[in-house]
Amino acid sequence: MVKTSLAIAVAAALLTPAAALADGLGKVTQALRPTLRTFDAQGRPLGEIKAAALHLPAPIVAHGVGASIGIKAEGGVVYLRGLDVQTEGVNATCAPVQAAARPSGSAYATSNMGLGGAADCRPARR
Amino acid sequence: MISATGVMKALLVSLTLAVSAYAVAKINLFGFEAASDRLADQVYQRITAADYGADRRGQRAVRVVYLDETSIEAMKGYGWRRFPPTYDQQWTMLDDLMSVGGAPPSAMYVDFVYMGQGGTSDGFPAFLDGLAAATRARAWADKPGCLADPLIKIACVIAAGGTPIILAKPSPGDLDLFTDVQRSLDTVAILAPAMVRLEAYPLITDYGFDAAKAARLGVHRFDISPAMGLYAAWCLRRGDHCGEPVFARLASQAREALAGRPSRPPDLSTVFDAPLDVVWGSRPDPDYLAVTKAVTGAPAPCRGLASGWRDRLMEQMAGLRGPGVGKRQECPYAYSLGYDRLVVGQGLGKDDLANLLAGKMILVGGHFRASNDWVESPVHGQAPGVQYHAMALDNLIEDGDEYRRNANAFLDSDLLKSAMIFALAFCGALGVMARNSLLDRATAEGVEPRLRSTVYGPLYLLLFSASIGTVFMATWLGVAYLHRSPINWIGLCGVAVAFLFYATRQTLPADIAGSVERFRFARQIVRLRRRVVSLLRFEEERLLGPRASKSAGRRGAEPASEGSDHGQD
């Protein structure tokens, strides 16, 4: 009994900051398509998920490659496109393209034109 | 006042100058003449760029969605592992652009050249099916009247309730090849040659192929440029058909063709009869500025508000020649957004997406620095090819059939320049003669010393100003009312001023000195000039001998006499 209580306390102690951190990334409030494409953190396609299968609003627990939005679903974390969902509390800090430090090996592709890519955006810290 | 001999002399001098100018232009040694023409156009565009598109009619309708190296890096998070992406992924991109705005765009152009399949499991059938659904190909693909030419095909797509999707292909004039993939795409979409490195932007291109070759290369009577295709779609959707009866006829013929009845598509080449000389604007799109601020928290890192032609003229005359860089870097004229930024969605709300996509003319293209699809823009510097198409479309929306024609496509612009030089030289020579004749009379009547500084000296100024003003006026009139690219106004001004300096070389220094000699500072400058001239005078003494030395010595010793020498030119 004591061991169980201790385990619960330890788990709670570990999960609380994680939950707080996850909450700090904002939440997904609405799906904008009936079915959504899902990816893993590295961007490998996982398939599709029906919007009805999501428990919304869902806290964003992580961001994947290319700032994909990770939420808990289907017993794990799936990553969605920001275009497919409505979010709340997601604040990005993006540098304009001409001022952005580009990833190494990437040319100043739009030094003259355009707003810049998602690579210029970094989710804001809270 | 001017004798008949004088007039004949002026005619002869002007004719000699004009013929020489024509010969120099035609010889075009080292390409100097062509470069000079281009420079004149570029500087004119840089000066007047802020005045283009004041009503923003085109800017409100045209959008650019682009991919670049960083986009591809970011899109790795969404399954894109290579470029070009699979056809399946490309359809996802087009489908996003079709749907996330809440309503489909008016028309779309994809500036990626489609040649063949990337692999067997590339998702090409899905791409084809998606295109067919978007363009409602089932309604028109089996109607011969809808396939007669690309313009009526666009009209049929619109009449069927679809969205015209124009895909890039290589020009059949350059590449004698039409692949199976292109043939399949041609059944569900419109293919348009993506031009590269052309001096002027073609609108309708008739290759003059025979029927067999045209069929082999997938050419339906003629080809249209992407901007022409999008402009046709824009006009076909408008109630007034852009005020062009040909678009109204095109729409009605498309309805006939869609109903399976024989149709006779109108000939739009009678209206859009020449290549377009693309005019670049610099007015930043307020939506672009607002979205940049929204997603970055900082103002767009480019020249925000448009500055007028006076500021720009000063810039061009000062040290800031060429397209602006740094803080003076122009914002993109068309509202442009990276596709990856769209997919990530950060900072973009539903309204932003609707404003970006719904009912707009979308151009999708690459901003890849590593590609060769870049054009030299006089205003923006190097610009991606897709922005060139966007600007051409904007020109058509702004100016309709009064778009700026490339002057070289119409007449011998060198002949025009020579005629202009002839007129300027003739009027200039007559002006100089008249002025000197007046001065002679004043000298004879003894009023010359009093009037020279206030009347006869400034007459030269008037003569020079009138010549330059005439060139400016002719340039502006040609662009504004004849809708032609500007004549080489820099060269013409140079020739006119050089000729006038030559024609007045004997009297001009004295007149300038006489006009300003009442100012002490000016007198000091005149003295300094004489000293410098005296110092620099060395070769003629050696070559001309004692006579030149004596003459020079006399002039140096009697500075007051310089103010009164004048000659009849």
Inter-chain touch A67–B346, beta carbons under 8 Å: yes
User: How far is B97 from chain A, CA to nearest CA, in Å?
Assistant: 11
- Are A68 and B78 an interchain contact pair (Cβ–Cβ within 8 Å)? yes
- For A:69-98, CB contacts with B below 8 A are 79, 81-83, 85-87, 90, 92-98
- Neighbour count for residue B8 (Cβ, 10 Å): 10
Summarised one tens digit per residue, pLDDT across range B480-529 is: 888 888 888 888 898 888 888 888 877 777 777 666 666 777 778 878 87
d(CA B279, CA B486): 11
Residue B28: per-residue pLDDT: 81
Lowest-confidence region among A17-26, A66-75, B153-162, B522-531: A17-26
**Most confident among A100-109, B80-89, B359-368, B480-489 (mean pLDDT):** B359-368
Beta partners for residue A48, in sequence order: A37
Amino acid at B525: I
Q: Give me the pLDDT at residue B454, please.
A: 67
Banded pLDDT at B286 (limits 50, 70, 90): confident
Whether the predicted pLDDT of B152 surpasses 60? yes
Within the 96-125 window of chain A, which residues sit less than 8 Å (CB to CB) from chain B?
96-99, 102-103, 106-121, 123
| Strands laid side by side in the B190-193 sheet | B190-193, B165-169, B107-113, B361-366, B62-67, B335-338
Instruction: Give the model confidence (pLDDT) of B327-372 as tens digits.
Output: 677 888 899 888 988 898 877 778 888 999 999 999 999 888 778 8
Using the predicted structure, report yes or no on whether residue A18 has a pLDDT greater than 90: no
Query: Does the pLDDT value for residue B154 go beyond 70?
Result: yes
Asked if pLDDT for residue B320 goes beyond 60, the answer is no
Kindly state the tokens that stand for B177: 């090849």
Task: Report how far residue B125's alpha carbon sits from residue B277's, in angstroms, rounded to the nearest whole number.
Answer: 39
Which pLDDT does position A21 carry in this prediction?
45
Residue-wise pLDDT tens digits, B21-48: 888 888 888 888 888 888 888 889 888 8
* A4 band by pLDDT with thresholds 50, 70 and 90: low
- Best probe of the A interface among B81, B94, B95, B296, by most A CBs < 10 A, is B296
Please tell me which residue of chain A has the smallest CA distance to B287. A115
Q: Flag the least confident range among B151-160, B245-254, B405-414, B499-508.
A: B405-414
Q: What is residue B523's predicted lDDT score, i.e. its pLDDT?
A: 78
Res. A6: pLDDT tops 60: no
In this prediction, residue B111 carries a pLDDT of 93
What whole-number distance in Å separates Cα of residue B345 and Cα of residue A29?
A: 14
pLDDT above 70: residue A99: no
Contact B233, B199 (CB under 8 A): no
pLDDT for B95: 94
- Distance, in Å, from the CA atom of B155 to the CA atom of B145, rounded to the nearest integer, reads 11
Q: Percent of chain B beyond pLDDT 70?
A: 86
Q: Which pLDDT score is estimated for A3?
A: 56
User: Is B295–A115 a contact, with Cβ atoms under 8 angstroms apart?
Assistant: yes
**A18/chain B closest Cα distance in angstroms:** 23
- Cα–Cα distance measured from residue B63 to residue B94, given in angstroms and rounded to the nearest whole number: 14
The interface pTM score, or ipTM, of the predicted complex is: 0.74
So what's the pLDDT on residue B113? 87
How many angstroms separate the Cα of B352 from the Cα of each of B291, B349, B436? 8, 5, 69
- Tell which of A25, A113, A125 to mutate to test the B interface (max B CBs under 10 Å): A113
Q: Residue B559 pLDDT more than 80?
A: no
pTM to 2 decimal places: 0.82
Is the distance from CB of B123 to CB of B88 less than 8 angstroms?
Answer: yes
Query: What pLDDT is attached to residue B504?
Result: 80
Mean pLDDT, residues B521-542: 76
Residue B312 predicted with pLDDT over 90: no
Q: Which residues from chain A sit within 8 angstroms of residue B100, using beta carbons?
A: 32, 83
Residues of B in contact with A83 (CB under 8 A): 96, 100, 342-345
Which of chain B's residues have a Cβ under 8 Å away from the Cβ of A117?
68, 70-71, 73-74, 338, 340-341
Q: What is the DSSP string of B251-280?
A: HHHHHHHHTT-------GGGTS-S-B-PPP
Which H or E run includes B523? helix B520-536
Amino acid (one-letter) located at B79: G
CB contact under 8 A, A99 and B301: yes
Residue of chain B with shortest Cα separation from A39: B78
pLDDT band at B4 (very low <50, low <70, confident <90, very high): confident
Does residue A12 surpass a pLDDT of 60? Answer: no
Please tell me the distance from the alpha carbon of residue B366 to that of residue B71, in angstroms, as a whole number.
Answer: 10
CA B165 to chain centre: 27
Q: How far is A75 from chain B (nearest CA, A)?
A: 21
Residue B237 clears pLDDT 50, i.e. is over it = yes
Least confident window among B100-104, B133-137, B391-395, B536-540: B536-540
Among B66, B68, B83, most A C-beta atoms within 10 A, so best to mutate, is B68
* Predicted pLDDT at B448: 62
- SS3 (DSSP) at B517: coil
Q: What is the pLDDT of residues B184-227, one digit of tens each?
A: 999 999 999 987 666 789 999 999 999 999 999 999 999 999 99
Task: Verify whether the Cβ–Cβ distance A82 to B302 is below 8 Å.
Answer: no
